[in-house]
Amino acid sequence: MTRNLYRLASLVVLSAGITACSPPAPPPPPPAPAAPEMSAVERGEYLVKVGLCNDCHTPWKMGPNGPEQDMERMLSGHPESVKVTRPKLPADWPVAANPTFTAWTGPWGISYSANLTSDPATGVGGGVWTEENFMRAMREGKHMGTSRPILPPMPWQWIGQHTDDDLKAIFAYLKTVKPITNHVPDPLIVEGPPPPPPPAR
Protein backbone atom coordinates (compact mmCIF):
# COMPACT_ATOMS: atom_id res chain seq x y z
CA MET A 1 0.00 0.00 0.00
CA THR A 2 2.76 2.39 0.96
CA ARG A 3 4.68 1.43 -2.17
CA ASN A 4 1.66 2.18 -4.35
CA LEU A 5 1.20 5.58 -2.74
CA TYR A 6 4.89 6.31 -3.30
CA ARG A 7 4.57 5.40 -7.01
CA LEU A 8 1.49 7.56 -7.37
CA ALA A 9 3.18 10.52 -5.74
CA SER A 10 6.20 10.05 -8.01
CA LEU A 11 3.99 10.07 -11.09
CA VAL A 12 2.28 13.27 -9.95
CA VAL A 13 5.64 14.99 -9.36
CA LEU A 14 6.97 13.75 -12.73
CA SER A 15 3.88 14.97 -14.57
CA ALA A 16 4.14 18.35 -12.93
CA GLY A 17 7.76 18.60 -13.95
CA ILE A 18 7.02 17.69 -17.58
CA THR A 19 4.20 20.23 -17.68
CA ALA A 20 6.43 22.92 -16.23
CA CYS A 21 9.12 22.25 -18.83
CA SER A 22 6.70 22.19 -21.81
CA PRO A 23 6.30 25.40 -23.83
CA PRO A 24 2.98 27.18 -23.38
CA ALA A 25 0.23 26.36 -25.86
CA PRO A 26 0.15 28.77 -28.79
CA PRO A 27 -2.58 31.39 -28.66
CA PRO A 28 -5.64 30.73 -30.79
CA PRO A 29 -5.47 32.22 -34.29
CA PRO A 30 -7.05 35.63 -34.66
CA PRO A 31 -10.54 35.61 -36.16
CA ALA A 32 -10.68 35.96 -39.92
CA PRO A 33 -11.27 39.55 -40.96
CA ALA A 34 -14.84 40.23 -41.92
CA ALA A 35 -15.45 40.80 -45.62
CA PRO A 36 -15.87 44.51 -46.31
CA GLU A 37 -19.52 45.40 -46.49
CA MET A 38 -20.73 46.26 -49.99
CA SER A 39 -22.53 49.47 -50.73
CA ALA A 40 -25.92 49.17 -52.41
CA VAL A 41 -24.38 50.15 -55.77
CA GLU A 42 -21.57 47.58 -55.41
CA ARG A 43 -24.11 44.91 -54.49
CA GLY A 44 -26.23 45.86 -57.50
CA GLU A 45 -23.25 45.67 -59.84
CA TYR A 46 -22.43 42.22 -58.50
CA LEU A 47 -26.02 41.02 -58.98
CA VAL A 48 -26.23 42.41 -62.53
CA LYS A 49 -22.99 40.68 -63.50
CA VAL A 50 -23.71 37.28 -61.96
CA GLY A 51 -27.31 37.51 -63.15
CA LEU A 52 -26.02 37.68 -66.75
CA CYS A 53 -27.99 40.83 -67.56
CA ASN A 54 -25.32 41.77 -70.11
CA ASP A 55 -26.10 38.66 -72.15
CA CYS A 56 -29.29 40.24 -73.50
CA HIS A 57 -29.06 43.94 -72.65
CA THR A 58 -25.57 44.54 -74.08
CA PRO A 59 -25.34 44.25 -77.89
CA TRP A 60 -22.99 41.60 -79.20
CA LYS A 61 -20.47 42.17 -81.96
CA MET A 62 -18.05 39.99 -83.90
CA GLY A 63 -14.62 40.01 -82.26
CA PRO A 64 -11.32 38.35 -83.18
CA ASN A 65 -12.42 35.11 -81.51
CA GLY A 66 -16.08 35.20 -82.45
CA PRO A 67 -19.14 36.89 -80.94
CA GLU A 68 -18.48 39.04 -77.87
CA GLN A 69 -20.34 41.68 -75.91
CA ASP A 70 -19.73 45.24 -77.05
CA MET A 71 -18.91 46.78 -73.68
CA GLU A 72 -18.73 50.25 -75.24
CA ARG A 73 -22.53 49.89 -75.42
CA MET A 74 -22.93 48.09 -72.08
CA LEU A 75 -26.56 47.58 -71.07
CA SER A 76 -27.83 49.97 -73.77
CA GLY A 77 -30.35 47.45 -75.12
CA HIS A 78 -31.29 46.75 -78.71
CA PRO A 79 -29.56 49.21 -81.07
CA GLU A 80 -32.16 51.52 -82.57
CA SER A 81 -30.35 51.40 -85.94
CA VAL A 82 -30.76 47.61 -86.25
CA LYS A 83 -34.07 46.79 -87.89
CA VAL A 84 -35.66 43.41 -87.27
CA THR A 85 -38.32 41.62 -89.29
CA ARG A 86 -40.29 38.66 -88.07
CA PRO A 87 -39.11 35.54 -89.89
CA LYS A 88 -41.03 32.35 -90.43
CA LEU A 89 -39.75 29.94 -87.79
CA PRO A 90 -39.89 26.13 -87.63
CA ALA A 91 -42.69 24.70 -85.54
CA ASP A 92 -40.33 22.62 -83.40
CA TRP A 93 -38.22 25.63 -82.34
CA PRO A 94 -40.24 28.81 -82.91
CA VAL A 95 -37.81 31.21 -81.21
CA ALA A 96 -34.82 33.06 -82.68
CA ALA A 97 -32.43 35.85 -81.68
CA ASN A 98 -30.99 38.43 -84.01
CA PRO A 99 -27.17 38.70 -84.43
CA THR A 100 -26.82 41.28 -81.63
CA PHE A 101 -28.75 39.00 -79.20
CA THR A 102 -30.90 41.98 -78.27
CA ALA A 103 -34.05 41.15 -80.28
CA TRP A 104 -36.02 37.95 -79.96
CA THR A 105 -38.69 36.58 -82.25
CA GLY A 106 -41.22 34.03 -81.07
CA PRO A 107 -44.92 33.23 -81.07
CA TRP A 108 -45.53 36.48 -79.15
CA GLY A 109 -43.98 38.63 -81.90
CA ILE A 110 -40.68 40.51 -81.48
CA SER A 111 -39.25 41.69 -78.16
CA TYR A 112 -36.31 44.02 -77.71
CA SER A 113 -33.89 44.31 -74.80
CA ALA A 114 -34.42 47.54 -72.89
CA ASN A 115 -31.88 50.30 -72.43
CA LEU A 116 -30.77 49.94 -68.81
CA THR A 117 -28.18 52.73 -68.80
CA SER A 118 -28.62 55.91 -66.79
CA ASP A 119 -29.55 57.93 -69.87
CA PRO A 120 -32.42 60.18 -68.75
CA ALA A 121 -34.26 60.18 -72.08
CA THR A 122 -34.00 56.55 -73.20
CA GLY A 123 -32.74 54.61 -70.17
CA VAL A 124 -33.57 54.42 -66.48
CA GLY A 125 -31.95 57.72 -65.52
CA GLY A 126 -34.97 59.97 -65.95
CA GLY A 127 -37.94 60.34 -63.66
CA VAL A 128 -40.09 57.82 -65.53
CA TRP A 129 -38.41 54.77 -64.01
CA THR A 130 -38.51 54.85 -60.23
CA GLU A 131 -37.34 52.35 -57.67
CA GLU A 132 -40.97 51.54 -56.95
CA ASN A 133 -42.10 50.81 -60.51
CA PHE A 134 -38.84 48.96 -61.24
CA MET A 135 -39.51 46.62 -58.32
CA ARG A 136 -43.14 46.18 -59.35
CA ALA A 137 -42.10 45.37 -62.92
CA MET A 138 -39.71 42.68 -61.71
CA ARG A 139 -42.29 41.22 -59.34
CA GLU A 140 -45.39 41.37 -61.52
CA GLY A 141 -43.96 41.09 -65.04
CA LYS A 142 -45.54 44.33 -66.27
CA HIS A 143 -43.66 46.98 -68.26
CA MET A 144 -43.16 50.02 -66.02
CA GLY A 145 -44.91 47.97 -63.37
CA THR A 146 -48.37 48.72 -64.76
CA SER A 147 -48.76 48.28 -68.52
CA ARG A 148 -48.18 45.50 -71.06
CA PRO A 149 -46.64 42.15 -70.11
CA ILE A 150 -42.86 41.90 -70.10
CA LEU A 151 -42.11 39.60 -73.02
CA PRO A 152 -39.77 36.61 -73.31
CA PRO A 153 -36.93 35.94 -72.88
CA MET A 154 -36.77 38.37 -69.94
CA PRO A 155 -36.67 36.11 -66.84
CA TRP A 156 -38.62 38.46 -64.57
CA GLN A 157 -40.12 35.46 -62.76
CA TRP A 158 -36.67 34.64 -61.37
CA ILE A 159 -35.41 38.19 -60.89
CA GLY A 160 -38.58 38.98 -58.98
CA GLN A 161 -37.57 36.47 -56.34
CA HIS A 162 -34.73 38.71 -55.18
CA THR A 163 -35.18 40.43 -51.84
CA ASP A 164 -36.37 44.03 -51.73
CA ASP A 165 -32.85 45.12 -50.81
CA ASP A 166 -31.38 43.27 -53.78
CA LEU A 167 -33.83 44.80 -56.26
CA LYS A 168 -33.17 48.24 -54.80
CA ALA A 169 -29.42 47.61 -55.15
CA ILE A 170 -29.82 46.57 -58.80
CA PHE A 171 -31.77 49.73 -59.55
CA ALA A 172 -29.23 51.87 -57.66
CA TYR A 173 -26.43 50.38 -59.77
CA LEU A 174 -28.28 50.88 -63.06
CA LYS A 175 -28.64 54.56 -62.22
CA THR A 176 -24.81 54.76 -62.25
CA VAL A 177 -24.20 52.97 -65.56
CA LYS A 178 -22.68 55.19 -68.27
CA PRO A 179 -25.58 56.89 -70.08
CA ILE A 180 -26.07 55.88 -73.71
CA THR A 181 -28.83 57.47 -75.73
CA ASN A 182 -30.51 54.63 -77.58
CA HIS A 183 -34.23 54.55 -78.41
CA VAL A 184 -35.20 50.89 -78.23
CA PRO A 185 -38.18 50.09 -80.49
CA ASP A 186 -41.51 49.16 -78.99
CA PRO A 187 -42.15 45.42 -79.14
CA LEU A 188 -44.22 43.87 -81.88
CA ILE A 189 -46.96 41.88 -80.17
CA VAL A 190 -48.96 39.64 -82.47
CA GLU A 191 -51.57 36.95 -82.25
CA GLY A 192 -51.62 33.98 -84.56
CA PRO A 193 -48.92 32.55 -86.81
CA PRO A 194 -46.17 34.72 -88.30
CA PRO A 195 -46.59 36.02 -91.83
CA PRO A 196 -45.45 33.75 -94.68
CA PRO A 197 -41.94 34.38 -96.06
CA PRO A 198 -41.65 36.65 -99.07
CA PRO A 199 -41.69 34.91 -102.45
CA ALA A 200 -38.34 33.88 -103.90
CA ARG A 201 -36.94 36.19 -106.55
Percent of the chain with pLDDT over 70: 83
pLDDT-based confidence at residue 83 (cuts at 50, 70, 90) = very high
Which element (helix H / strand E) includes 17? helix 2-21
Residue 183: domain span: 40-87+95-188
Domain count, the chain: 1
The answer to whether residue 17 is domain-embedded is no
pLDDT at 6 over 80: no
As a whole number of angstroms, the distance between CA 196 and CA 201 comes to 15
Residue 8 domain flag: no
Q: Tell me if 10 is assigned to some domain.
A: no
* pLDDT, tens digit (0-9, with 9 covering 90-100), for 117-149: 999 999 999 889 999 999 999 999 999 888 899
Say what the pLDDT of residue 37 is. 87
* DSSP helix, strand, coil percent of the chain (3-state; round to 5): 35, 10, 55
Determine the pLDDT at residue 80.
97
> Quick one: pLDDT at residue 91?
84
| Domain contains 13 | no
Residue 184 maps to a domain: yes
- Classify residue 155: in a domain, yes or no: yes
Q: Looking at the domain assignment, is residue 11 inside a domain?
A: no
